[in-house]
Structure 1
Amino acid sequence: MAETPEGIPAPLQCSGVIAPLIDEARAREIVREWLESDTKPFIPDDKIRFGKAVMLYYPFWKYSREDGGTDVTIYRPAFGTLLSGLQNLQRFDIKSSPVPDDANILPATIYSSVYYPDLHGIARAEELIGIPLWLISYKVKNSIYMVEVDAESGMVYEEWHPIKEPVNWRKTAMIASIPVMILSLIAVYFSPWLFLLVAALLIFFLYQSEMLGVINLKRKEGKDGA
């Protein structure tokens, strides 16, 4: 198998790239709009700090097929990714441009034949191309997150996004302890059985609050993954 001087097998070299249409300033603006639309009022604007923005070309296999008398174009990642948006990337049939000399292209690791069993129709052509994405980091409190912005379409692909900050149970318990102490003293004064009832109701309330928080978070994650 032929290899390039850089050690990359010839079948895993990008023959071209999709020209970026979105610059860094617009990509940052898109991320800010996305954050505001998804997080208000959970994460205030002054709690978000943006980091570096880097453009990378992600290698994709572009398959041209004829399926049922219709010409279709299918894109599949030529690298490992857990992002569902990149796994099911959709594009209009845009012509690729020559690879720029200064292009940062992720190394392809998946051969085109891997996807053959899942493709339908008659093969017409295939090529490995680079699709530009802006990688932008942002920080919420002490946690750093990463988001990708398609530099051609403006689509946002998040790795993980803090939709809602976790509940601070220690703070919640401290706040709840004040009325609990008052209720406990009153309950003990009147009847020990009343104290046990108040304690049981408090435990049940805290348990339900935690469970509802977990359920709501899972429900949100399910909607985002759909």
Structure 2
Amino acid sequence: MVTFTCPKCGAALPVKPGTQLAVCSFCGTPSYIDRREALFFYILPFAIEETAARGIFKRWTAGPACPKDMEASASVISLKKEYFPVFRFRRTVDGKEQVFSRPARGTLLPGMQNVVIPPGDMLIFDSTAKAGGADVLHPDIAVDTYVPELPGTPIDQSLVYFPIYELKYRYGGMEYDLVIDGSSGRISVTNSPKRSSVSYVAVMVLSFILGFLGVLLGFLITPVFFALVIVGIFAGKILAHRVVRREKAAGGTA
């Protein structure tokens, strides 16, 4: 709950999110609440339990972008259940409402620079809010830090405690970090083991062979075989693009 000051008597004026008009309980003076500069506090409950988070990680290690033996070889070192502070800015840009999010705490964790906060699931963060065993990380960045860089005009701004699982794992003698979104199960990574590019190389070699055969047969037998050159080039591009797209889909962010 945000506290304003009564313009007449100076008494504290506690205001709940969504309030547009508040009446002072001491002098009865009504006050219009300017939500553009107030900072409201919310918490987004976990929708993904710890067991499910481990399952999400396990399925990710079996994905096409990870090494083939990663599912069996990767081991979880630690799994932290946390509420990470995020500033949420609602602004009007070119006549339309847009929402921006920025980390309220200095971090190198992947995926925290532009968190997607689902609408409608947030609860007011006050003394009655329950963390459910998660560590509540406190902000160390002022909200004013981001305001000058944001486009448009403000509607309101808030601090949202966002649910995440910070997971550390070991694979191939190396340690890696990733973040699992506690509301959607989305995985964010920066550096992770990658599957060998053998499939990509194989596709390119095949297209080269087709092209070479087309040139050779075109000179020795008939120019019709020059068509193999074109087939090799286009087939190589299409198949290589599919390989890269498949690996990207399961790579950096899942």
> Do these two structures clear the TM 0.5 threshold for a shared fold by scoring above it?
yes
C-alpha distance in 2, partners of 1:104/1:14? 20
1:69 aligns with 2:95: yes
Identify which of structures 1 and 2 has the higher relative contact order when contacts are C-alpha pairs closer than 8 Å and 6+ apart.
1
Superposition CA RMSD, Å: 2.9
**Which of residues 74, 78, 81 is equivalent to 1:48?**
74
SS of equivalent to 1:160: coil
Note closer, same or farther for the CA distance 1:114–1:38 as it changes in structure 2 (3 Å cut).
Answer: farther
**Which of residues 113, 119, 124 is equivalent to 1:93?**
119
Q: Which residue of 2 aligns with 1:120?
A: 151
**Which of residues 25, 28, 35 is equivalent to 2:61?**
35
Supply the AA of the counterpart residue of 1:121. G
Q: Which residue of 1 aligns with 2:85?
A: 59
**Which of residues 180, 184, 191 is equivalent to 1:149?**
180
- CA deviation map 1:135-189 (0-9, x unaligned): 2222214322222100101111124212258xxxxxxxxxxxxxxxxxxxxxxxx
SS of equivalent to 1:110: coil
The Cα of 1:65 is off from its aligned counterpart by: 1.2
Contact 2:64/2:195 (<8 A) preserved = no
C-alpha distance in 2, partners of 1:25/1:103? 14
The Cα of 1:127 is off from its aligned counterpart by: 1.1
Give the number of equivalent residue pairs: 159
C-alpha distance in 2, partners of 1:81/1:27? 21
- CA deviation map 1:3-48 (0-9, x unaligned): xxxxxxxxxx982210110111111111112222154444343211
Q: Which residue of 2 aligns with 1:137?
A: 168
The Cα of 1:81 is off from its aligned counterpart by: 2.6
Task: Spell out structure 1 runs of 4+ moving beyond 6 A.
Answer: none
Supply the AA of the counterpart residue of 1:100. K
TM-score, scaled relative to structure 1: 0.61
The Cα of 1:68 is off from its aligned counterpart by: 2.1
Supply the AA of the counterpart residue of 2:174. S
- Structure 1 unaligned runs (5+)? 1-12, 166-219
1:26 aligns with 2:16: no
C-alpha distance in 2, partners of 1:95/1:39? 32
Supply the AA of the counterpart residue of 1:146. D
Contact 2:66/2:193 (<8 A) preserved = no
Note closer, same or farther for the CA distance 1:160–1:114 as it changes in structure 2 (3 Å cut).
Answer: same
Contact 1:145/1:159 (<8 A) preserved = no
C-alpha distance in 2, partners of 1:73/1:38? 33
Q: Which residue of 2 aligns with 1:107?
A: 138
C-alpha distance in 1, partners of 2:67/2:174? 18
Q: Which residue of 2 aligns with 1:162?
A: 193
C-alpha distance in 2, partners of 1:73/1:41? 37
SS of equivalent to 1:57: strand
C-alpha distance in 2, partners of 1:164/1:14? 44
Residue identity (%): 24
C-alpha distance in 1, partners of 2:105/2:95? 30
